[in-house]
């Protein structure tokens, strides 16, 4: 009788790889940790290290959704810079600044607008 050319571990690894490929095809966002959990739910006994090793050998990686980066290029100015970035004033009510914020509430959005006087640094309204 000829010896079995495939070891028991290689045989088990092949079955695990097939199961991992099936699970990965169903949900490519799963990493090796979630794949290990799913394998356990399906009756396979394997540690996270073993699943990581098999995934690395077979080049099975989770798919990362691409993050929407910030637009790095500044667009055209939306308004003229009337103060020319000089926020100091000698007399009251000669220069004012505004700020607008949006706060979500249970009833909808709440908009808050503050008007600040540059000379006195107080909220005018």
One digit per residue, the tens of pLDDT, for the chain of length 125 reads: 566 788 889 999 999 999 999 999 888 888 999 999 999 999 999 999 999 999 999 999 988 777 776 767 777 888 888 888 888 888 988 888 888 999 999 999 999 999 999 888 888 86
Q: Which domain holds residue 19?
A: 8-58
Q: Is residue 80 part of a domain?
A: no
Q: Are residues 13 and 53 in the same domain?
A: yes
Q: Is residue 41 part of a domain?
A: yes
Tell me how many domains the chain contains. Answer: 2
Listed residue (103, 97, 61) closest to 82, CA to CA: 97
Helix (H) or strand (E) holding 108: strand 108-117
Q: Is residue 77 part of a domain?
A: no
- Quote the pTM value: 0.49
Q: Is residue 68 part of a domain?
A: no
Helix (H) or strand (E) holding 103: strand 96-105
Handedness of CA 32, 17, 28, 45 (dihedral sign): negative
């Amino acid at each position: 009788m000829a010896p079995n050319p495939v070891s028991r571990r290689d045989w088990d690894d092949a079955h695990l790889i097939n199961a991992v490929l099936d699970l990965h095809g169903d949900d490519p966002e799963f990493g090796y940790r979630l794949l290990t959990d799913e394998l356990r739910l399906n009756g396979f006994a394997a540690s996270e290290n073993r699943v990581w090793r098999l995934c690395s050998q077979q080049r099975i990686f989770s798919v990362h959704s691409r993050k929407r980066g910030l637009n790095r290029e500044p667009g055209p100015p939306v308004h003229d810079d009337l103060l020319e970035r000089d926020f100091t004033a000698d007399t009251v009510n000669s220069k004012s600044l505004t700020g607008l914020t949006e706060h979500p509430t249970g009833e909808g959005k709440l908009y808050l607008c503050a008007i600040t006087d540059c000379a006195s640094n107080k909220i005018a309204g």
